[in-house]
Chain A
Amino acid sequence: GAVVSQHPSWVICKSGTSVKIECRSLDFQATTMFWYRQFPKQSLMLMATSNEGSKATYEQGVEKDKFLINHASLTLSTLTVTSAHPEDSSFYICSARDRQTANYGYTFGSGTRLTVV
């Protein structure tokens, strides 16, 4: 089945630095990927829609200059948290859909636990 690989699975960074998270579709092409953020004991919150070869579409309230999304190929989307602060500490998850397998929903990455100290 479709597999989405997310890396790293966890990262600790100092306040003010930037962190890049990768999301790869391993066995299918994904022209669209989605990025979510999840705080403890809360549901997933959609941050942005990543479109291959074009600009990402951000949800209301999400700072596009802080959360940079690049979808340079059909199998890779990256999320860069710039100038990270402790309040950016969260669980970040990406997802994509394999259009070839039709109606099998979305496949999610395993998530990245970001801790900003």
Chain B
Amino acid sequence: LAKTTQPISMDSYEGQEVNITCSHNNIATNDYITWYQQFPSQGPRFIIQGYKTKVTNEVASLFIPADRKSSTLSLPRVSLSDTAVYYCLVGDGGYQKVTFGTGTKLQVIP
């Protein structure tokens, strides 16, 4: 199982773009990179998933370099409601068990 490393916490002002980087040096060929958002007392919520290069959806972008040993979640123009913990997970999406790293606690400041 590829281990992930993320910054423990980040602060950002409202309206700014936030980039959270995750390191996964031991990522396997079949592994995808998935990011989740968790609010207090709620289960994690899927944000975005990618394998390589760039993926964009309505809420975020995911940048993955060619070596895939890291990935960056980009949240455009954050608002106070984006204050949450963000987790990056690596796995092949099969029945492989998923273990969580520390996550990044994002605090959006007015």
The answer to whether A binds B is yes
A→B interface (CB under 8 Å): 4, 6, 31-32, 34, 36, 43-46, 49, 91, 93, 95, 97, 102-111, 113
Residues of chain B within 8 A of A97, CB atoms compared: 93-95
> Which B23-78 residues have C-beta < 8 A from chain A?
32, 34, 36, 41-46, 49
Query: Is B99 close to A, CB under 8 A?
Result: yes
Contact of B42 among A45, A102, A110 (CB under 8 A): A110
CB<8 Å pairs between A and B, sample of 20: A4-B43, A31-B95, A32-B95, A43-B87, A46-B99, A93-B44, A95-B43, A95-B44, A102-B93, A104-B46, A104-B49, A105-B34, A105-B89, A105-B93, A106-B34, A106-B46, A108-B43, A110-B43, A111-B42, A113-B41
Query: Is B80 close to A, CB under 8 A?
Result: no
Residues of chain B within 8 A of A49, CB atoms compared: 95, 97
Main SS of chain B's interface residues?
A: loop
Q: Beyond the given A43-B103, A49-B97, A105-B34, please list 14 additional residue pairs across the A-B interface where CB-CB is below 8 A.
A: A6-B43, A36-B100, A43-B87, A44-B44, A44-B87, A45-B100, A46-B98, A49-B95, A95-B98, A103-B32, A103-B49, A104-B46, A105-B46, A108-B43
Instruction: Across the A-B interface, give the 9 residue pairs with the lowest CB-CB distance, nearest first.
Output: A108-B43, A105-B34, A44-B100, A32-B95, A43-B100, A108-B44, A111-B43, A105-B46, A93-B43
- In the complex formed, the residue of A with least CB distance to B50 is A103
**B45 close to A108 (CB less than 8 A):** yes
Number of B residues whose C-beta is below 8 Å from A?
A: 22
Query: Is B15 close to A, CB under 8 A?
Result: no
Residues of chain A within 8 A of B93, CB atoms compared: 97, 102-105
